[in-house]
Amino acid sequence: MMKKLKTQVGIIGAGPAGLTLAHWLRKHGIHSIILENRSREYVEGRVRAGLLEQNTVDIIKDLGLADRLLKEGQEHHGVYFSFDGQRIRVPFGELTGGRNITIYGQQKVVRDLTSAWLESGGELYFEAPAVGIRDFHTDKPIIDFEYQGEQGIIECDFVAACDGFHGIGRKTLPENSYNTFTRTYPFSWLGILAHVAPSTDELIYSYHERGFALHSLRSHKISRLYIQVDNDAHIEDWPDDRIWDELAIRLGTEGWELQRGPIFEKGITPMRSFMIDRLQSGRLFLAGDAAHIVPPTGGKGLNLAIADVKHLVDGLVEFYQKNSTLGLDHYSEIALKRIWRAQDFSNFMTRLFHKQDEHGSFQYRLQKAKFDYIRMSRAYATTIAENYVGLGFEAFGLTSAI
């Protein structure tokens, strides 16, 4: 039997973008329904980002969803940068007038937002893939989906495709309605999660002649670490001891020791930039990874997804409260300003810390010159700091919808 649902905003995808959008719309009295392709267990267990910008934390707080985040998240006021074994600290809190980052795993964000949505009676269908989006050039678009072996439709006013890089939202946009920009880097990240207390109080980004390494954190008992590997690297060639040895060398600095522990998750992620320059067609809107991917070096992916949602909420609230499409008409243009800023910063961090050419080459010397400049110039360090913690919405000439 055909399942027929009706809502104001049909949301595809229960990742950070889709869930935040649903909560935020409800705050403004706008009804939505979420469809999610995967099971709840899968989505809640998916290990991805872990660095929340100040804006993201503020939004989750304002939505009243930050109880666990405030208890378990670790606020960081600075970051360490290492180059050839020399380590410096960029005190971003001090340089940006108190803006900081919080370390809190993406899967926890997803769990918190999912539980709050379901417990308060929100509609979310798991294992319910959207298989088609149609009529989005009319004022009654339709999402076709499958659920428990049946076909269904959602009739809505707007479709928000928050369905990640592999979703159907972007594929549904008319082909000639946007331009695509891509860059694939000639290296990947091998990332691990380990049951061991972090050997650092703040993240360490490190250039080493053997390649990049990053010491990140998840909690007081769990560490997240990465090393640069070739694009054709195979995880089977990287037994745990080899990974720890490489991390110890690449992160090493005098008087500091890397603590090792059992690795319980490891995987290889390619490094790439991808984006399209129009996030809308008619009443179909894209937000988050559906429209852009950044290399993870700047910690921007999740934060960018939430920033898109802010602009989409602004536009939808304006539509429902003032019957104006002005905000929605300018959604792409407004969101793209931050997306390009994040692409630039992510590219900058990637180029600064990864080995791209022979040690001692011209490229290497440019990287080293940048590192030295961070040490000598407060202005340069501030530029990096404000991008790292994320520019406030007012920097783009915008204020919050909350």
Ligand X SMILES: Cc1cc2nc3c(=O)[nH]c(=O)nc-3n(C[C@H](O)[C@H](O)[C@H](O)COP(=O)(O)OP(=O)(O)OC[C@H]3O[C@@H](n4cnc5c(N)ncnc54)[C@H](O)[C@@H]3O)c2cc1C
Query: Is 76 one of the annotated active-site residues of the chain?
Result: yes
Residue placing its CB nearer to ligand X in the complex, 15 or 122: 15
Shortest spacing between CB 191 and ligand X, in angstroms:
7
Q: Which of 23, 76, 354, 370 is catalytic?
A: 76
Q: Which of 300, 310, 311, 354 is catalytic?
A: 300
Shortest spacing between CB 237 and ligand X, in angstroms:
19
Query: Is 147 one of the annotated active-site residues of the chain?
Result: no
Residue whose C-alpha is closest to residue 352's, from 298, 294, 273: 298
Residue placing its CB nearer to ligand X in the complex, 35 or 57: 35
Residue placing its CB nearer to ligand X in the complex, 15 or 73: 15
Binding stretches for ligand X (CB under 6 A)? 12-18, 35-38, 43, 48-51, 106, 129-130, 162-164, 166-168, 269, 288-289, 296, 299-302, 305
Residue placing its CB nearer to ligand X in the complex, 88 or 268: 268
Distance in angstroms (rounded) separating the CA atoms of residues 346 and 341? 9
* Cβ count within 10 A of residue 362: 9
Shortest spacing between CB 326 and ligand X, in angstroms:
25
> SS3 for 390?
coil
Q: Which of 80, 226, 331, 388 is catalytic?
A: 388
* Cβ count within 10 A of residue 326: 11
* Cα-based distances in Å from 259 to 216, 244, 252: 13, 9, 12
Half-sphere exposure of 119 (CA within 13 A, CB side): 7
Distance in angstroms (rounded) separating the CA atoms of residues 51 and 31? 30
Q: Which of 125, 205, 226, 331 is catalytic?
A: 205
Distance in angstroms (rounded) separating the CA atoms of residues 23 and 39? 20
Query: Is 16 one of the annotated active-site residues of the chain?
Result: no
- Beta-bridge partners for 241: none
Query: Is 174 one of the annotated active-site residues of the chain?
Result: no
How distant is the alpha carbon of residue 341 from its chain centre? Answer: 14
Shortest spacing between CB 365 and ligand X, in angstroms:
29
Query: Is 310 one of the annotated active-site residues of the chain?
Result: no
Enzyme catalytic residues: 76, 205, 296, 300, 388
